[in-house]
Amino acid sequence: MQIDFSELGNSSVDVCIVGCGAAGLSMAQRLARRGYRVALCEGGDHEYSERSQEIYQGESLGDPYIPLFSTRLRYFGGSTNHWGGICRPLDTYDFAAKPAAPKATVWPIGREALEPYYAEAAEILGVLPLPPDSDIPGSGLKRIHFSAPPPTRLKSKYSAFVHAAGTLFYCPTANLFGLETSQGRVTRAIFRDYTGNERSVSAHYFVLACGGIENSRLLLWCNRQANGQLIKYPDTLGRYWMDHPHATIGRALFLAPERVGLDLDHTVFLAPTPESIAERGILNCGLRLHRMGDEDTEQLIDDLAFAAPALGRELNDKAFGKRLMCGALLRAAWEQEPHPESRIELDTATDKLGMPRARLIWRKTPLDAKTVRDTTLLLGEYLRDRNMGRLQLAPWLASEDIEHIEFPIDGEIAGRHHMGGTRMSLTPDQGIVDTDCKVFGQANFYIAGSSVFPSVGHANPTLTLTQLALRLSAHLERQLGQRI
């Protein structure tokens, strides 16, 4: 049921969940269906409002990034109100140490820990069944697939449930402002509405689910307010922040487009095999091949012929009389190296509620550049060595100087996938939460969302973060005991 801000904290609850995005809603609806009493606190309004969205303004230093104001949405449903709905699970080997950066990339849990929650997460997000990946022999690449249905809007899907569920107390305009602790437990969560009124909630368990930037910002602030008693091991707090860099990486001509599936599909996705990742010393990377029309393909042949006349004659001979070859525009979205200097901080400017705004310092590394270049070269070498086509790298990627590569600052830049900042680890010196997503040093305080990812593969994050949220829900259900 929806409650007014003035009623917040009046009812006793098992779990207080802060944030109504994919993570918070997945947990809240699951817990409420099982009879647990849940306070679901949303800082925004039920609909989009300027007064809430404005709180997402923030400074962005470091590598150029999308304005923080527009990379996320601050109301019921969170960023699923404008997400693309494209999903794919992380690869099994994304959870293992990648040789290029073994300490930074390893997860303390494996993919098998998330498998039991796949079907439930897929139902919540509307994920379609995916065909299996298939190796492309001799290329070091495999063909992969994404689920891309019309995006599920969690606001439409769960509004009625949230208003009807008897054990769920949903309160919009409840902005988390502080967390009180005593003897290693969070005792109360303090909320402010837009007129400066404060209410507090007590619960057995507290879950922070405010998205991949706000989770760090709120913890940095609440920890400052609590004189360091909330996050007792704060070395990595806000750090190892990541997105999936996105860029156009070139064009390719395919003489045998059926070898990669481009004869039937307009867009084909490729990724390096785990063997290539290890041999090349790179991270994971998704290549997107968008088939060109005949006119653009002919232009590409002309451009390749201009650069290499002998090749051009050969290509023209092959093209003559047949329409088998086709060109493709190449894009990539790839895994970033987890790096402590890529981080969220508190700004000196404050928002209207009196909390310091978020400041993002996004940093990409030479390994990020190597990852996208070597993956692209895998495709180029495959086409060249078998005389099956040619690849033309985008000028920015053709630079020999991988240490100082200039990533493009126009176009997509990044996926708006906010990850890291409160990473999962085995020990508190390496991260903020343990393998149950529980904050180190607190007995009843948990974090849900992609901020806990220690490393990120190349797949869009929401399916994985939803699996993790459902796994956290199951953990809390075990702690609380059966209700119905």
Ligand X SMILES: Cc1cc2nc3c(=O)[nH]c(=O)nc-3n(C[C@H](O)[C@H](O)[C@H](O)COP(=O)(O)OP(=O)(O)OC[C@H]3O[C@@H](n4cnc5c(N)ncnc54)[C@H](O)[C@@H]3O)c2cc1C
Given the rule CB under 6 A, which residues bind ligand X?
18-24, 41-44, 71-72, 74-75, 78-80, 82-87, 175-176, 209-211, 214, 218, 416-417, 449-450, 460-462, 465
Minimum CB–partner distance for residue 129 and ligand X (Å): 17
Q: How far is CA 473 from CA 89, 151, 171, 184, in A?
A: 19, 24, 20, 21
Nearer to ligand X, 191 or 382 (CB): 191
Length of the chain: 484
**What is the C-alpha to C-alpha distance for residues 130 and 145, in angstroms, rounded to an integer?**
6
**Minimum CB–partner distance for residue 237 and ligand X (Å):** 16
Dihedral angle over CA of 124, 444, 96, 340, nearest 10 = 110
Cβ nearer to ligand X, comparing 214 with 337? 214
State which residue, 283 or 358, has the beta carbon closest to ligand X: 358
Closer residue to ligand X, CB minimum distance, 362 or 382: 362
Which residue, 221 or 440, has its beta carbon nearer to ligand X? Answer: 221
Give least dist CB 38 to ligand X, A.
14
How far, in Å, CA of 332 to CA of 391, rounded?
14
With contact defined as beta carbons under 8 Å apart, do 38 and 167 qualify? yes
Question: In whole angstroms, how close is the CB of 55 to ligand X at the nearest point?
Answer: 7
Nearer to ligand X, 336 or 460 (CB): 460
- Written as one string, the DSSP assignment of 248-298 is EEEEEEESSGGGTTTTT-SEEEEEE-HHHHHHHT---EEEEEEE--HHHHH
Nearer to ligand X, 357 or 364 (CB): 357
Tell me whether residue 197 or residue 316 sits nearer to ligand X (CB atom). 197
Find the residue with minimal CB distance to ligand X.
Answer: 21
Measured from the CB of residue 43, what is the shortest distance to ligand X in angstroms? Answer: 3
Residue 438 or residue 458: which is nearer to ligand X going by CB? 458
Q: Coil, strand, or helix at residue 451?
A: helix
- CB of 75 closer than 8 Å to CB of 81: yes
Give the tokens for residue 274.
């785990």
Q: Which residues contact 185 (CB under 8 A, 6 or more apart)?
A: 442, 443, 444, 445
Smallest gap from residue 2 Cβ to ligand X (A): 15
Least separation, in Å, of the C-beta of 210 and ligand X? 4
DSSP string, 132-191: PPEEETTTTEEEE--B--SPP-HHHHHHHHHHH-TTEEEETT-EEEEEEEETTEEEEEEE
Residue 170 CA to residue 8 CA, distance in Å, equals 9
Write phi, then psi, for 322 (nearest 5 degrees): -120, 160
- Minimum CB separation from ligand X for residue 57, in Å? 13
Beta bridge partners of 439: 433
> Shortest Cβ distance from residue 426 to ligand X (Å)?
23
